[in-house]
Amino acid sequence: MSTTTQTHLMTAEELGNLDDDSHRHELIKGELLTMSLPKQEHMRVAANLTALLWQHARVNRLGDVYAEGGFKLECRPDTVLGPDVSFVSNDRISLSPEGYHSGPPDLAVEVLSPGDRRGKVEHKLSLWLELGTRCVWLVNPRRRTVEVWRPTGERKLFHDTEELIDDTVPGFRIAVSEIFA
């Protein structure tokens, strides 16, 4: 006689009610992912990029910039991901005062931490794009690079000495070195 074990799939609501301040959590198709909190270099780079994007978006009235916000991308089973930084254009902003933003951001930014495994990170970037995000940036503080991913499969790597130009946030241009300043 064989037995099967049924795993409980978590909902976005259950995720939002977790009482765990020592970790970050996301859901992929109802399965809970637990990550350690970011360390200093990661936080500094994410804060720099948040400030730079926020200032540009605000001055030009383009939309909202978020730091570590949750986006509910799928239902039953639920997928909720939280990029380090994100941009949502005015036409994609959902007015949900409680809960997660419904739908994908235009731009999701993931900052690599020293312990991140490339395969897992690439899977997450692909998932963002599959679920409707227009563009994903992978920021690597150690190498001082930004890799821009698009749903078409196009990838472009920007180095510390170059200028990052991406039309996902209209008119946004920045020296890559400023992200790591």
Q: Whole-angstrom Cα distance, residue 79 to residue 97?
A: 19
pTM for the model stands at 0.87
Note the Cα 82 to chain centre separation in Å.
Answer: 5
Per-residue pLDDT of the chain (181 residues; tens, 9 = 90+): 444 444 678 788 888 777 767 778 777 888 887 777 778 888 999 999 999 999 999 999 999 999 988 899 988 898 889 999 999 999 888 766 668 888 999 999 999 988 888 888 899 999 999 999 999 999 999 999 999 999 999 999 999 999 999 899 999 999 999 999 8
Domains observed in the chain:
38-179 (3.90.1570.10)
Residue 122 has which token pair? 């690439």
Q: Whole-angstrom Cα distance, residue 153 to residue 83?
A: 20
Which pLDDT belongs to residue 19? Answer: 78
Q: Phi first, then psi: give them for residue 90, nearest 5 degrees.
A: -50, -40
Helices then strands, counting H and E runs in the chain, come out as 4, 13
Which pLDDT belongs to residue 4? Answer: 44
Residue 181 has which token pair? 């300043």
Q: Whole-angstrom Cα distance, residue 106 to residue 108?
A: 7
Which pLDDT belongs to residue 2? Answer: 45
